[in-house]
Amino acid sequence: MKIKKNTVIILFFLSLLIAYVTYDFAANKPISGKVIGTTIGNSKKGVSKLNQHQLNVKITSGDHKGEVVTVDNIVNDKTFDEYMVEKDSNVLLNIEENENGTIKRVYIYEIVRYKALYILIFSFILLLGVLAGEKGLKSILALLVTGFVILKVLIPLIVKGYNPIIVSIILCIAISTISLIVISGKNKKTLSAIIGTCSGLLIAAIIALVLSSKLKLTGFTDEQLQMLVYISQDKNFNFRGLLFSGILMGALGAVMDISMSIASSVSEIKEKKPDISTSALIKSAMKIGQDIMGTMANTLILAYVGGNLYNLILVFSYNLPLYRILDQDIIATEILNSLAGSLGLLFTVPITAVTAALLLNMNKENEL
């Protein structure tokens, strides 16, 4: 009965997600079109090569649906966010109209990608629910909560000018608490995982705060981040705070994972050996934690490297001495990202092990 109740609740939230996506699309429906023909034009060679060709595009949505227009598509081979659009491509259009409502000019501003991404996201959710069963459904619910908090709470608060450091700490604790309770229920195992997660995050936060100040990191690590300066003149973004927020959010998943793994291991050992002592429980948990720590720290570091591979290649391509490379703001930032999160992981293991052993060896029921 409890499983059916949980399934109904989770499916209800999934229905809300589908309804939200449908509403968002209907409220902000883009003008789209389909390329039905292409004509190769001229190429001009200068500092870079300009490729020009004409596209016959059939408008598939909006007031001009069904009309066929000719669009000039000019692509600079040095501008990597532009694409040579091919026949049968689906594109998003920007239409300029004359005073009488007829089409004056049409631009292609992006290729349609959201449809494939929607399919990918819902396939992931479906497979997680099917293959992982009830735990998978709970994980989906936790994922939805995390996504909602990030998109609808964290980002809007930071954009409004709230301190990203305080906001990130509070919301990371909230996300970890809600997610772990949803996935594992209200019991001592979950409580110990929450304590371990929050402790590890706070340690990572302290390390990130102290070292980002000590290293004089600016938070300006790429062009996209610097563009925030020009979003609005009445907003003063705390870029070092944004750097801190990124470190904390990046470490959150790994810290939650390792804390729940340790807490689950301690709980399983206690269930198999009810008379085991607290010290023996801690010792067993630490042995398990030692195996997990190396792989999780490696995972965290590789995630940061993978996310910034282009920037790292750019820096290393100049063949600078090691000290010059380490002095680069972007390199120092990535090292801090990796090590602050990894140190948080290292402290999470003993804290979770001790907490779980103490809680589970209390002479009380496991349910809170």
What pLDDT is attached to residue 115?
80
What pLDDT is attached to residue 331?
82
- What gap in Å lies between CA 129 and CA 140, rounded to an integer? 7
Question: Per the domain annotation, does 140 fall within a domain?
Answer: no
Q: Please tell me whether residues 208 and 347 are part of one structural domain.
A: yes
- What gap in Å lies between CA 96 and CA 109, rounded to an integer? 13
User: Across residues 287-306, what is the average pLDDT?
Assistant: 79
- What gap in Å lies between CA 315 and CA 326, rounded to an integer? 10
Bigger pLDDT: 264 vs 74? 264
Q: Please tell me whether residues 101 and 244 are part of one structural domain.
A: no
What pLDDT is attached to residue 260?
92
Q: What percent of the chain has pLDDT over 70?
A: 79
Question: Per the domain annotation, does 43 fall within a domain?
Answer: yes
Number of domains in the chain: 2
Q: Given strand 90-97, what is the order of strands in its sheet? A: 68-76, 49-59, 32-45, 90-97, 103-111
| pLDDT tens-place string over residues 3-12 | 566 566 666 6
Q: Tokens 């099917």: give the residue.
A: 130
Per-residue confidence band for 47, with pLDDT thresholds at 50, 70 and 90: very low
Q: Please tell me whether residues 104 and 169 are part of one structural domain.
A: no
Partners of residue 110 on adjacent β-strands: 92
Per-residue confidence band for 365, with pLDDT thresholds at 50, 70 and 90: very low
Which residue range is the domain that position 267 belongs to? 161-360
What pLDDT is attached to residue 7?
62
User: Across residues 238-262, what is the average pLDDT?
Assistant: 86
Q: Which range, 4-8, 50-54, 350-354, is most confident?
A: 350-354
Least confident of 3-12, 89-98, 338-347: 3-12
The CATH number of whichever domain residue 351 belongs to comes to 1.20.1640
User: Across residues 183-210, what is the average pLDDT?
Assistant: 91
Q: Please tell me whether residues 230 and 335 are part of one structural domain.
A: yes
| pLDDT tens-place string over residues 140-164 | 888 888 888 998 899 999 888 888 8
- What gap in Å lies between CA 335 and CA 208, rounded to an integer? 11
Per-residue confidence band for 337, with pLDDT thresholds at 50, 70 and 90: confident
Q: Where among 78, 112, 146 does a domain terminate?
A: 112
| pLDDT tens-place string over residues 320-334 | 888 888 888 888 888
Check if the beta carbon of residue 35 is closer than 8 Å to that of residue 88.
Answer: yes
- What gap in Å lies between CA 127 and CA 133, rounded to an integer? 9
Q: Which residues contact 26 (CB under 8 A, 6 or more apart)?
A: none
User: Across residues 111-133, what is the average pLDDT?
Assistant: 82
Q: Please tell me whether residues 313 and 182 are part of one structural domain.
A: yes
User: Across residues 89-109, what is the average pLDDT?
Assistant: 84
Please give the structure tokens belonging to residue 113: 């990608």
Q: Please tell me whether residues 191 and 338 are part of one structural domain.
A: yes
Question: Per the domain annotation, does 9 fall within a domain?
Answer: no
Q: Please tell me whether residues 77 and 223 are part of one structural domain.
A: no
- What gap in Å lies between CA 353 and CA 232, rounded to an integer? 47
CA distance readout (Å), 256 to 147, 284, 324: 16, 20, 35
User: Across residues 206-230, what is the average pLDDT?
Assistant: 76
Q: Please tell me whether residues 108 and 254 are part of one structural domain.
A: no
Q: Tokens 């110990």: give the residue.
A: 192
Long-range contacts of 294-299 (CB under 8 A, 24+ apart): 296/254, 296/257, 296/258, 296/345, 297/342, 297/345, 297/346, 299/254
